[in-house]
């Protein structure tokens, strides 16, 4: 653990406006026990922040881990802060930053370091668990989310629709004549096409949209809070970008895609959205490919 000078602070939901005159061994023991009871990263960090604020008053505690793109924040950052880099046998576990509106004393920073020593092993286990969950939801070839992740995400979208009537659209994208690419140029070329198309879709859609590899050469995009008109606009933009794509491997391979769209606003049952998007995709391929069809 290294204490460093001022750095970026993100922030603490429940600031506790009191402190202890000396180390509270009972509280420290309670923290050690609580940290052993969860492997969920957010719950673990929330427990640490809450218990730490009981012993060392601070307005914000934040955690960041660039390697796993993780950020946890609670509270409002203040001018005075101390930053700790967490390290376990050479493995960087991320950084913790505590802040408040007055300087920390040496006794307080020593206590924070003692508390952090209790966090290191539970945090390492939680990070391993988080990494395993992420990998289980990711397609290893294209590095986008997979079918299992889509099933989870679409169920959340259905729930959001039923609770808030928040319209959404689905877009199914199928690479045209993909079997011919594999047969003519080989599976290495086919893999490169898949990776190129996945990357292009991800960079073309909005940040709020999610793209998944649904299977084979098919991709599905969930467009939250989007009606049919907006979905068609985005789909056309994706189709045009794919049409411009050229994949080079010994020779240049031109790529096009057919896209089917269905929107919840037109569905009597939103769980039919995927089925209707698939029907629209089939129609696009039947009508000559490299086009966008909406359904119904």
Residues labelled catalytic: 217
Helix (H) or strand (E) holding 27: helix 25-35
Strands (E) across 22-139 are located at 60-65, 70-75, 80-88, 91-100
User: How distant, in Å, are the alpha carbons of 133, 141, 181 from that of 186?
Assistant: 32, 16, 7
What the block records as the tokens of 127 is 């990070």
Phi-psi region of 109 (alpha: psi -120 to 50; beta: other; left: phi over 0): alpha
- Which positions ≥6 away from 108 have C-beta within 8 Å? 56
Longest dimension (CA), the chain: 77
Distance of CA 78 to the CA centre of its chain: 28
What the block records as the tokens of 238 is 């994706």
């Amino acid at each position: 653990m290294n204490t460093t000078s001022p750095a970026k602070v993100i922030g603490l939901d429940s600031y506790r406006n009191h402190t202890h005159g000396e180390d509270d061994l009972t509280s420290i023991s309670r923290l050690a026990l609580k940290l052993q009871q969860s492997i969920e990263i957010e719950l673990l960090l929330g427990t640490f922040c809450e218990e730490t604020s009981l012993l060392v008053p601070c307005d914000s505690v934040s955690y960041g881990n660039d390697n796993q793109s993780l950020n946890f924040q609670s509270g409002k950052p203040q001018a005075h802060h101390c930053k700790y880099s967490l390290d376990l046998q050479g493995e960087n576990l991320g950084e913790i930053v505590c802040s408040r509106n007055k300087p920390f004393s040496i006794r307080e920073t020593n206590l924070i370091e003692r508390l952090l020593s209790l966090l290191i092993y539970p945090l390492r286990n939680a990070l391993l668990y988080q990494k395993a969950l992420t990998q289980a939801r990711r397609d290893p070839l294209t590095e986008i989310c997979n079918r299992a992740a889509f099933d989870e995400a679409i169920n959340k979208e259905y729930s959001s629709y039923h609770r808030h009537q928040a319209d959404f659209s689905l877009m199914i994208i199928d690479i045209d004549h993909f079997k011919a690419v594999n047969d003519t140029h080989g599976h290495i070329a086919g893999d490169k096409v898949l990776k190129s198309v996945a990357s292009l879709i991800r960079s073309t859609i909005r940040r709020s949209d999610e793209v998944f590899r649904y299977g084979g050469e098919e991709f599905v995009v969930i467009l939250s809070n989007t009606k049919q008109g907006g979905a068609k606009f985005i789909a056309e933009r994706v189709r045009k970008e794919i049409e411009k794509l050229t994949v080079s491997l010994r020779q240049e391979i031109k790529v096009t895609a057919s896209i089917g769209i269905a929107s919840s606003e037109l569905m009597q049952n939103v769980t039919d959205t995927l089925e209707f998007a698939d029907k629209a995709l089939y129609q696009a391929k039947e009508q000559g490919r490299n086009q966008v069809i909406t359904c119904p």
